């Protein structure tokens, strides 16, 4: 699926600001640059995960299970950690189970509950994938100094805090 890349020329924004006084040109330019970069990073991540037959959602779940306690995680815990619905998790788990990366088993403490566990095949996939994944992540951020990386984390937290304004 191709992502539409947001872009508006500054001249268009300045003309629009004459008609709409609430329009702050720099805020819109910043937002559009952020959206453009986000789209590029998502496209690159999707390409990267596809090399391993995964999606970002499946990778996120596998990483949760890679670091899960021995008793595993419930689907609800996975959903809560990933900040998605239980239905979304169920679909991802179905695909991961089909590929033999995870297994569902009855909970030892409550037979009405299921726990999710990483299979050996899932563990091997991550062990083989993670060096490449973290090397690519490092290269993604290579143009930023250490101080700039810390600053970006702070700035993104501020943008995140403003997100409810768009709701």
* Per-residue confidence (pLDDT) for residue 51, from 0 to 100: 96
Provide the whole-model pTM. Answer: 0.83
Q: Which tens digit of pLDDT belongs to each residue from 114-147?
A: 999 999 999 999 999 999 999 999 999 999 999 9
Q: Is the pLDDT of residue 105 over 80?
A: yes
∠ Cα 135 139 143 (to 5°) = 155
The three-state secondary structure class of 46 is helix
Quickly state the pLDDT bin for 1 (edges 50, 70, 90).
Answer: very low
pLDDT at 135: 97
Q: State residue 17's pLDDT score.
A: 79
What φ, ψ does residue 116 adopt, rounded to 5°?
A: -110, 135
pLDDT digits (tens, 9 = 90+) for 71-103: 899 999 999 999 999 999 999 999 999 999 999
What residues pair up with 3 in beta bridges, in sequence order? none
Question: How many secondary structure helices (H) and strands (E) does the chain include?
Answer: 7, 2
Domain ranges of the chain: 7-50, 55-156
Going by pLDDT thresholds of 50, 70 and 90, the confidence category of residue 5 is low
| Dist. CA 155–CA 153, nearest whole Å | 6
54 in Cβ contact with 62 (< 8 Å) = yes
Asked if residue 61 has pLDDT above 90, the reply is yes
Average pLDDT over the chain reads 91
41 CB-near residues (< 8 Å, 6+ apart): 140
CATH number of 55-156: 1.10.10.10
């Amino acid at each position: 699926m191709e992502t539409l890349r947001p872009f508006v020329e500054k001249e268009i924004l300045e003309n629009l600001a004459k008609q709409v006084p609430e329009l702050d040109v720099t805020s819109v330019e910043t937002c559009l640059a952020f959206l453009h970069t986000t789209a590029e990073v998502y496209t690159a991540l999707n390409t990267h995960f596809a090399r391993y037959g995964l999606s970002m959602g499946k990778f996120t779940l596998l990483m949760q299970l890679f670091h899960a306690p021995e008793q595993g995680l419930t689907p609800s815990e996975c959903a809560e950690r990933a900040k998605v619905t239980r239905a979304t998790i169920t679909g991802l788990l179905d695909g991961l189970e089909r590929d033999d990366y995870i297994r569902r088993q009855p909970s030892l403490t409550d037979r009405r509950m299921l726990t999710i566990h990483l299979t050996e095949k899932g563990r091997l996939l991550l062990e083989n994938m993670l060096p490449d994944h973290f090397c690519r992540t490092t290269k993604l951020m290579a143009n930023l100094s250490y101080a700039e990386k810390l600053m970006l984390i702070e700035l993104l937290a501020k943008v995140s805090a403003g997100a409810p304004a768009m709701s």
